Amino acid sequence: MYVKSLTLRGFKSFASATTLRLEPGITCIVGPNGSGKSNVVDALAWVMGEQGAKSLRGGKMEDVIFAGTSGRPPLGRAEVSLTIDNSDGALPIDYAEVTITRTMFRSGGSEYAINGTGCRLLDVQELLSDSGIGREMHVIVGQGQLDTVLRATPEERRGFIEEAAGVLKHRKRKERALRKLESMEGNLTRLGDLTTEIRRQLGPLGRQAETARRAATIQAEARDARLRILADDLVQLTSALEQEIADERALVRRREAAQEALATAEEAVAGLEAERARLTPALTEVQDRWYALSSLVERLRALRDLAGERVRLLGAEEEELRAEEQGRGGASSRDPEQLRAQAEQVRAQETALLATVADLARALADAEEERSAAEAAHAEEQARLQRLARAVADRREGLARLAGQVAARRTRVEAGEGEVARLTEAAQAVLGRASRAEQDFAALESTVLDVEQGEEGLDEAHEQAEERRVSAEAEVRRLEEELRAAQGEQGAHRARVEALALSLRRTDGASALLAEGGQGHGVEGSLSGRLRVEAGREAAVAAALGWAAEALVVDGLDGARAALRWLRDQDQGRAGLLVGGSVVGGTGTGTGWPDLPGYAVWAADVVRVQAGDAALGGVVTGLLDRVALVGSDEEASRLVREFPGVTAVTDEGDVYGPGWVRGGSSAAPSLLELQSAHDEAQAGVATATARAERLTFELGAARTALEAAESEADATLEALHENDARMTAVAEQLAQLGQTMRGARSEHERTAAAIATAQQRLEAARTELEELQGRLVAAEEEPGQTAEPDTAERERLAEVAARARSAETEARLALRTSEERARALTGRAEGLEAAARNELAARQRAAARRARRAEDRRTAEAVATGAAYLLERVGELLGVATTGRDAARAEQARLDETTARARTRVSEVAAELRDVTDSVHADEIARAEQRLRIEALETRAVEELGVDAVTLVEEYGPHRPVPHVPGPDESPDDPDLPGPTPFVREVQDKRLRTAERRLAQLGRVNPLALEEYAALEERHSFLVEQVEDLRRSKADLLHIVKEVDERVERVFAEAFHDTAAQFERVFARLFPGGEGRITLTDPDNMLTTGIEVEARPPGKRIKRLSLLSGGERSLTAVALLVAIFKARPSPFYIMDEVEAALDDTNLGRLITLFEELRDSSQLIVITHQKRTMEIADALYGVSMRGDGVTTVVSQRVRDVTPSGVRARQAEPEEVAT
């Protein structure tokens, strides 16, 4: 396997498509500096997956695309294709030739392809890693990388060997497995939580499903009973119809008397209806007034409570502000005036110190002048002595040669003066262009100032509009949150009212009586609904009343007997009944009762009956005869002992009597407690409703304000965008003029630099000319001088110059010290002034906050006072409205009752009249009505039960026996089940009532519970299986990690031992007589151990790499890399000027290693060394044309050995471009 060709298109300096065709052996790439040789190395690294822009000598990855030159435009993409000969099958792919292509677009997109098929970067890296070419690119040894190898940490050196051994791929596999494990742990945790939650839900849902099964069985039994009762009704109606057809008769009686009675009754009804019509508007008005006043009372009460809470909160805030000011007034606060005074003192010190700095600066200037004068005198004396010395030497050399040098320097001076003049003219022309561009730029900048001034106003307007919008949004969010809270509170109270109403529904005999409406029984309602108990005393009063707490109130003993008889006949259970007025007296303490101690109170004193139930009060007093309420069991025991005839009841509901105690825990609250909680929840609903209505109104106003603020913000933003567009246009024009100015300036700078260089050369030539002329004159004027000049004066002047420099240094040090002190005083003064400003602002803000809180509190107190006054007045009006409403209702009820009796009389007379008038058709009408009833029964059977009349009679008629319906705990196949029984109407009626009562006792039934339970149970089983699958997968991943660790440890150990042996041999080759070896930092842990390199060149005792010379470090790095190459050879290696720092001897040793590597790998070498070029099998010359584009020329060097002597022949080859 070897690199067969490399094609570059638009990559860095390779603007045109360039193909380098390579062959096995050593290929050298040569060329001058900057021609693009290293770009070939960058292209190889880039196409093999390099991702670091810095590794490619760029700032960002787009820098690899040809950027253009003065003669060629930039390109939009870069593409490099690497073709590898895979005839030996080193790459795990079924192709003898593999081409890897990478394309980069200037938009940032990147594509990879293998043999023209798109792929991922990971596919390229894994394909190459199997052949020993890792993603770290250890096969590419670039410029400066040798020292990087030595400076690497032990763990980084380990990476070189791992990459060569192909271990990195296994490490990446382990990392992926560990990431999967981490994700799997999270999934297991979530699945565990979900399984636990579902398991928790299965219990309640299972109970619901069991209830649904029982309800289904009971419903089936109720449906069967209802069908049989309906079939019996249908059979009886049909029989009656047949009987009426068989027994038809005519009835004609007293028609005239009936007509007169009907007219009289209708006149009475008309009068009553007119009177009721007159009363209805007044009643409606009274009720509307009562509802309005009730709503107003609730709103005023809420407003009063809200204002009171506001007053309390503002008072607390004032206390907090006062405490905060007192805290600031302590040791931590400072007076602003004192801070200003301190700042002025520091400013005065600063002024004095600045004056000292000025004096020191003048002293430094004097010292610099003295030093300059002394150094000038010393330099002049030194030059004089040098001239004398040169004159003596020139005399010895001869005047003829000196005169020739003078003539040559004079010619050079004249040429330099001409060059300076030409460049000066060019600079003047460039300055003219720059000046014109600057004038245009200044004119355009005035326009920018106008646009910017307009933008400042727009910015301020937009910021203010945005602040108003943000403030409005915050207000809307606040009101929405408060409204949601109020609605949630309203919903919670309503839900509580509904739940308590459901709890108040009775499921015993009392509920049956209430459901019947007390018709014929005299039932007036429940006792709990007609009593009002002090808050907190409900449980105690319920315990004191006992069975009576859940009893019903009847109007007399006859009604009570009728109610009990009805319960027995209908099999509706039992009920407790209280007879109103059976005990004379009212609520309150009875006569002869003892005076209780302070910890007890009579139960009768905490109970009130509703208005109009004075008779019931006597009954309650009798039930609570000598019953006292106490707080604890100890008080109850003491009270019973002190007052033997008194019964004590605690707040928990425990009852203490003379010689007996009844109590303990209660499974459910009493009806009194439920009724009290129900009334309290209704009051909460009213309060929450009023608050929600107020917040809804405020929210509508806030949303209107928000829409206005958003419109204003959008308008100012649009104006800003328009101004930005104008700024952008002006900025583009300024950019063009700026580019023109910068170009002119750059050209002027280059011309100025050229002038400066020319002037420097001219001055140097003039200096040399003057020096040579002086030497010539001195040589001619002093023909006989041969002695050395005296140097005493020079030494004296040197001492004077040294003293002057020392004085200058001391003056400079003093000046810098004073300047630092002055800067410190400046910072301190500015800090004190800022602290004074901040303290003054804080006090002003605190005063403003106090004023606002006081004003808010006064407003809230006024609102609370007004609301309380209005509440009192409206309460009085509400009492008046209540009295008027009750009177109007009573009058309306009287009229309704009278009207009902009159209408009944009209109906009776009209019925009698119809009988007399329609005597001929009486039987037909009767038969038609009977048929209608039959049809109604048939329609009901179809609509309600889904059974037609024929099927209903055939399958459920009274002639069919009634089968036994299995219960939820019975099996239909049980032979011991009872058999069918004959139809009995009373039995079926009782059976239907029993089924309905059992359904009522079951409570609310979830009809979907069976399906939900089955679905939830199925999901639970599925999740349990998923958890087990995840645990098995986790075990498999742990096994994979263990296998990877074992393989990495084995492969690395083998690679390390082979590399260590090769390093010793290679180091001995490069350093004859030296010693080098590599060791493990942690031999006991082969998975994480690093690698240390020890090198001792011949004749030296050092082993530390940092103490080696540059050439020795380079050779040591080469030895380590070559050892890795030999231990784990790769198909090819790229060397970029690795021998640049080596001398001839070491270069020869390195070349020997290159020749050894040629036998197993392909070498691509970037070099400037001729000896390296001599061993190459092919040469590529790289050069750069004047347009900045790299071109390549190749020459193949073939071995010609006809006589056994190795010779080289250069054959030029063309490179596809």
**Cα R_g (the chain), whole angstroms:** 57
In terms of phi and psi (left: phi > 0; alpha: psi -120 to 50; beta: otherwise), the region of 49 is left
Tokens, residue 140: 């590419």
In this structure, are residues 574 and 567 in contact, taking their beta carbons and an 8 Å threshold? yes
DSSP string, 464-510: HHHHHHHHHHHHHHHHHHHHHHHHHHHHHHHHHHHHHHHHHS--SHH
> Is there a contact between 994 and 219 (Cβ–Cβ < 8 Å)?
no
32 in a labelled binding site: yes
Give the separation between CA 951 and CA 938, rounded to whole angstroms. 11
39 is an annotated ligand-binding site residue: yes
CB contact set of 971 (below 8 Å; sequence gap of 6+): none
597 is in an annotated binding site: no
CA distance 753 to 776: 34
627-629 β-sheet, strand order: 601-602, 627-629, 647-649, 655-657, 660-662
In this structure, the chain runs to a length of 1217
Q: In a 3-state reduction of DSSP, which class is residue 527?
A: coil
Count helices and strands in the chain by DSSP H and E runs: 22, 25
Ligand-binding annotation for 16, yes or no, is no
Q: At 1144, list the tokens.
A: 């001839």
What CA–CA distance (Å, rounded) separates 453 from 15? 48
Element (H, E) at 253: none
Q: What is the largest CA-CA distance in the chain?
A: 188
One-letter amino acid of 634: E
**Does 37 appear as a known binding residue?**
yes
Query: Nearest CA to 1199 among 6, 26, 22?
Result: 26
Phi, psi of 1072 (to 5 degrees): -60, 130
Residue 1045 CB neighbour total at 10 angstroms: 15
720, 459 in Cβ contact below 8 A?
yes
| Beta strand 1162-1166 pairing with 26-30 | parallel
Q: How far apart, in whole angstroms, are the C-alpha atoms of residue 715 and residue 217?
A: 70
φ/ψ of residue 966, rounded to 5? -65, 140
The 3-class secondary structure across 1189-1213, one letter per residue, is CEEEEEEEEEECCCCCCCCEEEEEE
Is 115 annotated in a binding site? The answer is no
Q: How do 97-105 and 110-114 pair as beta strands?
A: antiparallel
Distance from C-alpha of 346 to C-alpha of 73, rounded to nearest angstrom = 64
Supply φ then ψ for residue 614, to 5 degrees.
-65, -35
Instruction: In whole angstroms, give the CA distance from residue 1139 to residue 1172.
Output: 9
Whether the Cβ atoms of residue 141 and residue 1134 lie closer than 8 Å to each other: yes
Question: Amino acid identity, residue 626?
Answer: R
Tokens of 280: 């209805």
Q: Cα angle vertex 1154, ends 1150, 1160, to 5°?
A: 150
Angle between helices 614-623 and 538-545 (to 10 degrees): 80
Paired tokens of 524: 């007036």
* CA 124/CA 174 separation, integer angstroms: 19
The C-alpha atoms of residue 960 and residue 956 are separated, in whole angstroms, by: 6
Q: Helix, strand, coil proportions of the chain in percent (round to 5)?
A: 65, 10, 20
- The answer to whether 838 is annotated as binding is no
d(CA 621, CA 1161): 116
1146 has binding-site annotation? no
Q: Binding site residues, as ranges? A: 32-39
Residues at the annotated binding site for ATP?
32-39
